[in-house]
Amino acid sequence: MLQTALHYSHQLLRDVVLPGDTVVDGTVGNGHDTLFLADLVGSQGHVYGFDIQGQAIDTSRQKLTEAGLASRTTLFHQGHETVAQVLNSEVIVKAAIFNLGYLPKSDKTIITRKETTLVALTSLLPKLAVGGRIIVVIYYGHEGGDTEKDGVMAFVKDIPQREYNVLSYQFINQQNNPPILIAIERKKTSQP
């Protein structure tokens, strides 16, 4: 069966993330992806997570502690647009994931926004390891969602193909704005 965007995002991460890697969860939310990544990076790796909602950070931190994975994670109660300030300039990121939109069962007006999402993506592109991937799952069915989707799609379409591969994955016959998964991969060798 073709995989949902959520499952496929995990597959794309699992394919490249190895024990010892440094990775980023740009939208911690319920902590599901943070836990998944913390498992992949092992005890020598590290996950840096961001969310502007304190509640999301607190509950995720608790889940990580219960799973015994807290020591390999650092969660910031601040926007992902600060990623370049937080990560040392020499840090190489193997993978990053962003789930855009609002947090389900929470305040629908607290959403990711084009301006800050693009700052985060722009900051991460040069930090990405060769063969590394940035996954962006775009949910856009909510108020303000279309503006962000259009901005992100325009941005990723313009990423130079010489250095990066960019994939778009979506069930195009589904109702109700099925999410779009974008995968950005840094190529192994720069090609003309």
| 3-state DSSP of the chain | CCCCHHHHHHHHHHCCCCCCCEEEECCCCCCHHHHHHHHHHCCCCEEEEECCCHHHHHHHHHHHHHCCCHHHEEEECCCHHHHHHHCCCCCCEEEEEEECCECCCCCCCCECCHHHHHHHHHHHHHHEEEEEEEEEEECCCCCCHHHHHHHHHHHHHCCCCCCEEEEEECCCCCCCCCCEEEEEEECCCCCC
Closest distance of CB 187 from ligand SAH, Å = 27
Nearer residue to ligand SAH within complex by CB, 104 or 131: 104
Contact positions vs ligand SAH (CB under 6 A): 27, 29, 50-53, 56, 79-81, 99, 101-104, 110, 112, 116, 139
Nearer residue to ligand SAH within complex by CB, 12 or 56: 56
Closest distance of CB 192 from ligand SAH, Å = 36
Closest distance of CB 62 from ligand SAH, Å = 15
Closest distance of CB 55 from ligand SAH, Å = 9
Nearer residue to ligand SAH within complex by CB, 42 or 144: 144
